[in-house]
Chains A and B, each alone.
Chain A
């Protein structure tokens, strides 16, 4: 027994000293906050996997200008309080020069005041436009996920082309759904689209019959189901159960092949905007992102034996953008921030162009409209 305790002590000592040596003074420290467990784990898990894959690649190649890159990865479990605590810990204890994440719109917005006060750049992986606007109040905040407002614009433009004027919207009650609901209501008028039914549901709901009936009674010509939680795949199923045949639009939160699998046959033909990573095989060769997308998809799928998702792509873009900036100006947070603002980067989410007035860097055209065909995501032709 004594010997075992001794052996355990030695192990602990070795781990501690190893991490001290590895995290030497010349290493670059970057923090990550993802929702790795909890209700939003399907976002955080691919994000964590992606950054771990990249950091290994960077350090195997000799680090950034000879400095090893050390990542501190925190799990916020999708909870705002935990996210704020994690960000504070990363800044105060781990002395990181930049933060990647959080994964969710809610947790990212909760983190904004913290990083603004401590003056550490944060690159969120969430999509609400509010995270980086108004840009005057978001000096330290960037994001690599496309704006939800641009996703809504893509959907509305598609509706205009198909003469759909009256729609019903369904949103989940998470930060993603609530922000999407606000954007849709604000933008619909621009496209002369009238929202005749406005329903919300909880991530724990198991039956969408009631909101769907309300939408059916409102005379809507199409439904937008704006959600990031698994419950969204119940909507197409319940529509089929109710024999509703009006077109179903989903948000970019649907861009996870598991959601399409969960909805089964009922998901066939639903329309949604998504990053091009979801249908990389159907892209033309001259598309500027094609090479990056193919490389990431191949690396991720062979390393983790899992489908690639747009969400891991947000972390990919964020970490490479930070790495490029570190390469140029080193790890002073203020200099890093200024450099981030000049970033031009071809990534998974699209072609990024940050500027002092735009901390998202993506626009409407970085989405492609997709549909589900034979259980696979394909780019929509018309």
Chain B
């Protein structure tokens, strides 16, 4: 093998690693956007939804031995329930829902969910078996896990379903209307409070999916939420807050850049690399790579 071949194999390997992480950032970023569009706030409990999804899936498959597809559906329902509960109990009752107030509430909820997960699932990391075989596949000398293919596939399915929902269903269009102008939407007879609840439910669902598909690869523990949330938030900002196509592209980009940075600079600075890129983009294009600065000006936050 020549050294050029070896270099190429390394790059392919880093790309696989980056895409795998990027898909999770993309899903987390989509969750952020969903709630941002409906309420104008950043939900800091987004990372916790991912953790809840992962841990619940571990319990259902590894302890209760349910079949994968059933456990998958039950887990998503469970986390969606948690999302709805969160909105009904903490966001909906707030008398004067200012942006800052709501954001602080989501931080509080994230701490509560983290604590509850710690009590229920303990402090250790949890191991889950892969969806299909755990044997890596060869790809021109590099290796890829079947689980990575699952992750990419499921991200695609979620993105397509997401696009369909917002463009071709009445409810989806109502949600978009709320996102564009909440007062006008209300005047047109759209129940905006219900749309907020729905946005929490959907964003929790997306979080759960991210947690379920990544757990076999990374081992989930109760404290993972903050970092996953932060990276997802980074991807959402990078892609332009509220822009979901941008979020997916930015999430994968962030993952790949991190992987290349880890490989060619140092894995020690992997997290820093992502955040430095984020800062850099914010200095040059505050609306994100794919965001429109005009839309940004209309937003409260």
Contact = CB atoms under 8 A, between A and B. Distances in A.
B123 interface: yes
Contacts of B21: 206-207
Nearest to B223: A39
Interface stretch (B88-96, B204-212, B243-251, B267-275): B267-275
Given A242-B143, A262-B125, A213 B267 contact: no
Nearest to A261: B127
B104 interface: no
Interface in A248-291: 258, 261-262, 264
A230 B125 contact: yes
A214 B123 contact: no
B262 interface: yes
B267 A205 contact: yes
Contact of A202 (B10, B145, B271): B271
Contacts of B125: 230, 233, 258, 262
A42 B270 contact: no
A353 interface: no
B124 A201 contact: no
B218 A207 contact: yes
A258 B127 CA distance: 10
6 contacts: A42-B124, A230-B124, A230-B125, A230-B219, A258-B124, A262-B126
B13 interface: yes
A241 B263 contact: no
Contacts of A234: 218-219
Interface of A: 37, 39, 41-42, 45, 173, 199-202, 204-211, 213-214, 217, 230, 233-234, 240-243, 258, 261-262, 264
Interface of B: 6, 10, 13-14, 16-17, 20-21, 123-127, 136, 143, 145, 214, 217-219, 221, 223-224, 227, 259, 262-263, 266-268, 270-271
A201 B268 CA distance: 5
Given A200-B267, A241-B136, A209 B218 contact: no
Nearest to B230: A204
Given A206-B217, A217-B6, A243-B136, A262 B143 contact: no
Given A45-B123, A204-B271, A208-B267, A213 B20 contact: no
Contacts of A242: 13, 136, 143
Kindly list the 5 A-B residue pairs having the minimum CB-CB distance in the complex, ordered from nearest.
Answer: A210-B262, A206-B218, A210-B263, A200-B268, A230-B125
Contacts of A264: 127
B71 to A, nearest CB: 19
A205 B259 CA distance: 11
B13 A209 contact: yes
A206 B223 CA distance: 13
Contacts, number: 85
Given A204-B271, A217-B6, A210 B127 contact: no
A339 B90 CA distance: 58
A210 B127 CA distance: 22
Contacts of B267: 199-202, 205, 208, 210-211
Contact of A204 (B14, B17, B227, B259): B227
A207 B20 CA distance: 10
B286 to A, nearest CB: 28
B10, B136, B262: residue with the most chain A Cβ atoms closer than 10 Å: B262
B56 to A, nearest CB: 18
A213 B14 contact: yes
A258 B126 CA distance: 9
Nearest to A258: B124
Contact of B270 (A205, A230, A258): A205
Given A209-B13, A217-B10, A200 B266 contact: yes
A208, A209, A233: residue with the most chain B Cβ atoms closer than 10 Å: A209
A13 to B, nearest CB: 30
A344 B272 CA distance: 48
B136 to A, nearest CB: 5
Contacts of B136: 240-243
A261 B227 CA distance: 24
Contacts of B223: 39
Given A210-B259, A243-B136, A41 B10 contact: no
A214 B259 CA distance: 12
A90 B186 CA distance: 60
A2 B127 CA distance: 51
Nearest to B14: A210
A238 to B, nearest CB: 9
Contacts of B124: 42, 230, 258, 262
Contact of A210 (B17, B227, B271): B17
A313 to B, nearest CB: 19
A213 B8 CA distance: 12
B85 to A, nearest CB: 25
Contacts of A209: 13-14, 16-17, 259
Given A211-B262, A213-B263, A262-B125, A230 B268 contact: no
A340 B173 CA distance: 75
A98 B297 CA distance: 61
Contact of B268 (A39, A202, A206, A233): A202
A41 B123 contact: yes
A187 B127 CA distance: 35
Contacts of B218: 206-207, 234
Given A206-B218, A213-B13, 18 more contacts: A42-B123, A42-B124, A199-B266, A200-B267, A208-B267, A209-B13, A209-B14, A209-B16, A210-B17, A210-B259, A210-B263, A211-B267, A213-B10, A233-B219, A242-B13, A242-B143, A262-B124, A262-B125
B298 to A, nearest CB: 36
A177 to B, nearest CB: 10
A130 B217 CA distance: 36
B226 to A, nearest CB: 9
B37 to A, nearest CB: 28
A265 to B, nearest CB: 8
